Structure 1
């Protein structure tokens, strides 16, 4: 594409237009990666301390209803860089670019742009600044910033290395954007948060988290489960990932959930109800993936109310234009029914549909 729009290439290989920024080009993985590599205080601190870590801490400091705003309040810096506040005040054109980027980020993640200027966000941001300054900066030549509060909890400033900061940022994002099926909030917390973003190629849906995964806090963590190996073998990832790297799936356009998020065990040991199916429909409506692929028949048969064959299914009223696949389970318990050819067919279809 040749045009006059200024743009940059992102970590995941996307084009990101700068003026005007396009919400469809914004990716949470690019944001997490960029902020994890960006040092606070313009690098003038005693240790490397990333904007990603700062953002995670702000999301915990701020009032809970604004937690996602706190996590993403510096997201524009992933694309525009971190300009020191005293200089930024003198750069009106930069502030215009930053404002446009914040609007695009707000549209992408359903945040009103005005919330990025909210008083509560300013309070939380300044409180973190004071705690960070106590740990990371030498004694100042004169007091700053004016009217600063006292140090609240300097112990939370841990100086994560970039890979860990990126992981923590994505985990917090997954926690804050997971969709709850219970408007009355009577259900217990999910055993594992969903790993989801908009614009995904596929959301894989299992039946429920196994006991090993529940214990370790990672999807498909049982060594007998071939999920991670299968993704590499069919070309969905360009290297073999491990459960510890599960959040990297987002950069491949892959998301993860389970039908039952509140029980753990083998398929025959967990209950599946229409409420579970309704939750999945809500996820599809919210995130609009290109496809949903069921890892095993049981979850699919619960959603659609009948026996299912492996392969691509007819589109359904519940999922609209989202395509549906049923794949042989990668669970060790279902090894006798596993067929890599169906997974290869799915991968070929994904590649063909762009």
Structure 2
């Protein structure tokens, strides 16, 4: 079984972006969305209209400055490759720590698998959940729709929180 990455958050985090599990490249780099084909970082920097940053620590600080945290639904998982359709065995993360240490008001799920797990396991019954198309390279054929969904989710954050 492979182990996911530790969460990125602090006490000021209000938005939690949840994926399913890190890709093979992300695991090797020990960085969220470490595959260059993944559009997560580019979309976020573009949305906030700031120059794209390649330094991972600066990316993390950028997220935290915008009250955004990152984690995945799976703590441990068995999967061939990086596709969400390839999971064989999974174990969910325990979200109690992040829910007690941060004031999460919105969860944006990065992809269908993460959304399905959140809903099917009723992981956050008191928190608004917004599903978005995955930022992975596998979904790059849906770039316009994905961009629109992510922008609407982030605008909701700006308006409501």
TM above 0.5: yes
Structure 1 unaligned residues grouped into runs of 5+: 1-187, 307-315
Write 1 or 2 for the structure with the bigger share of strand.
2
1:248-293 deviation per Cα after TM superposition (whole angstroms, max 9, x unaligned): 12122111101113236321222465x51x624x255322312111
**The one of 225, 231, 234 aligned to 2:38:** 225
SS of alignment partner, residue 21 of structure 2: strand
Matched, 1:327 2:123: no
**What is the Cα-based RMSD across aligned positions, in Å?**
2.6
- Corresponding residue number in structure 1 for 2:70: 256
Whole-Å Cα distance in 2 between the matches of residues 324 and 213 of structure 1?
25
Matched, 1:349 2:160: no
Matched, 1:266 2:83: yes
**The one of 12, 29, 35 aligned to 1:216:** 29
Whole-Å Cα distance in 1 between the matches of residues 37 and 123 of structure 2?
35
- Corresponding residue number in structure 1 for 2:120: 305
Whole-Å Cα distance in 2 between the matches of residues 301 and 293 of structure 1?
12
1:218-271 deviation per Cα after TM superposition (whole angstroms, max 9, x unaligned): 111111000000002222x73323362342121221111011132363212224
In the comparison of the two structures, how many residue pairs are matched? Answer: 153
Q: Tell me whether 323-332 or 244-253 shows the greater mean CA deviation.
A: 244-253
Q: Name the CA shift for 1:243/1:301 in 2 (closer, same or farther; >3 Å).
A: farther
Whole-Å Cα distance in 2 between the matches of residues 319 and 283 of structure 1?
16
Structure 2 unaligned residues grouped into runs of 5+: none
1:299 CA displacement: 1.1
1:306-346 deviation per Cα after TM superposition (whole angstroms, max 9, x unaligned): 9xxxxxxxxx78331x2211111110011223421111111
1:40-92 deviation per Cα after TM superposition (whole angstroms, max 9, x unaligned): xxxxxxxxxxxxxxxxxxxxxxxxxxxxxxxxxxxxxxxxxxxxxxxxxxxxx
Whole-Å Cα distance in 2 between the matches of residues 240 and 193 of structure 1?
24
Whole-Å Cα distance in 1 between the matches of residues 70 and 142 of structure 2?
22
Name the structure, 1 or 2, with higher relative contact order (CA <8 Å, separation 6+): 2
SS of alignment partner, residue 318 of structure 1: coil
Q: Name the CA shift for 1:214/1:251 in 2 (closer, same or farther; >3 Å).
A: same
Matching of residues 58-137 of structure 1 within 5 Å: none
**The one of 51, 54, 67 aligned to 1:239:** 51
**The one of 281, 289, 295 aligned to 2:110:** 295
In the superposition, the TM-score normalised over structure 2's length comes to 0.81
Q: Name the CA shift for 1:344/1:318 in 2 (closer, same or farther; >3 Å).
A: closer
Q: Name the CA shift for 1:228/1:353 in 2 (closer, same or farther; >3 Å).
A: same
Structure whose CA Rg is larger: 1
**The one of 124, 141, 146 aligned to 1:318:** 124
Give every structure 1 segment of 4 or more consecutive aligned residues whose post-TM-superposition deviation is greater than 3 Å. 188-191, 316-319
Q: Name the CA shift for 1:198/1:331 in 2 (closer, same or farther; >3 Å).
A: same
